[in-house]
């Protein structure tokens, strides 16, 4: 059974940095599309970064240049380095995974098969 567990959230001031982690267990597929999403109260879910087993990455303009997604295959862990955080980055952040690479091609659309429980990020001005 695939399990994704996020960590690393917290409260920072505007301009600060955080690194989120998503530890994956039970994932035995040879391919993956993995992504980070966020959702703030009263807002729709937003994709903030995606990557696949080929190393391709995708970001929306709202975080491009500030967020970096990466994978440590040896540790089965997905990361999201977030720099120059802004109050509008405040949200619950979720990691997601799917063995179907078309999810990365169509990202941020698509209903990923596996999701973590989320980690809260709060940025104060």
pLDDT digits (tens, 9 = 90+) for 26-68: 998 889 999 999 999 999 999 999 999 999 999 999 999 999 9
Please tell me the distance from the alpha carbon of residue 107 to that of residue 104, in angstroms, as a whole number. 5
Is the separation of the CB atoms in 121 and 10 below 8 Å? yes
Is residue 117 classed as helix, strand or coil in its secondary structure?
Answer: coil
Is residue 14 classed as helix, strand or coil in its secondary structure?
Answer: coil
Q: What is the pLDDT of residue 111?
A: 86
Q: What is the pLDDT of residue 109?
A: 82
Q: What is the pLDDT of residue 86?
A: 98
Q: What is the pLDDT of residue 1?
A: 93
Region for 65 from its dihedrals, namely left if φ exceeds 0, alpha if ψ lies in -120 to 50, beta otherwise:
left
Higher pLDDT, 122 or 108: 122
Please tell me the distance from the alpha carbon of residue 5 to that of residue 1, in angstroms, as a whole number. 13
Please tell me the distance from the alpha carbon of residue 5 to that of residue 3, in angstroms, as a whole number. 7
Whether the pLDDT of residue 123 is over 90: the answer is yes
Whether the pLDDT of residue 103 is over 90: the answer is no
Please tell me the distance from the alpha carbon of residue 48 to that of residue 89, in angstroms, as a whole number. 10
Q: What is the pLDDT of residue 63?
A: 97
Average pLDDT of the segment spanning 75-85:
97
Question: By 3-state DSSP, what share of the chain in percent is helix, strand and coil, each rounded to 5?
Answer: 5, 50, 45
Q: What is the pLDDT of residue 37?
A: 97
User: Exposed/middle/buried for 35, CB within 10 Å: 0-12, 13-18, 19+?
Assistant: buried
**1-27: per-residue pLDDT in tens?**
999 999 999 999 999 999 999 999 999
Q: What is the pLDDT of residue 116?
A: 97
Is residue 72 classed as helix, strand or coil in its secondary structure?
Answer: strand
């Amino acid at each position: 059974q695939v399990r994704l567990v996020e960590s690393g959230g917290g409260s920072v001031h505007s301009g600060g940095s955080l690194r989120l982690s998503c530890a994956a267990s039970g994932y035995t597929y040879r391919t993956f599309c993995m992504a980070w999403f966020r959702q703030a109260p009263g807002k729709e879910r937003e994709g903030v970064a995606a990557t696949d087993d080929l190393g391709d990455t995708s970001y929306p303009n709202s975080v491009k240049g500030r967020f970096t997604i990466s994978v440590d295959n040896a540790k089965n862990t997905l990361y999201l380095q977030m720099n120059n955080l802004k109050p509008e980055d405040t949200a619950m952040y979720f990691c997601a995974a799917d063995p179907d690479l078309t999810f990365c091609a169509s990202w941020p659309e698509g209903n990923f098969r596996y999701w973590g429980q989320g980690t809260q990020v709060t940025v104060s001005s």
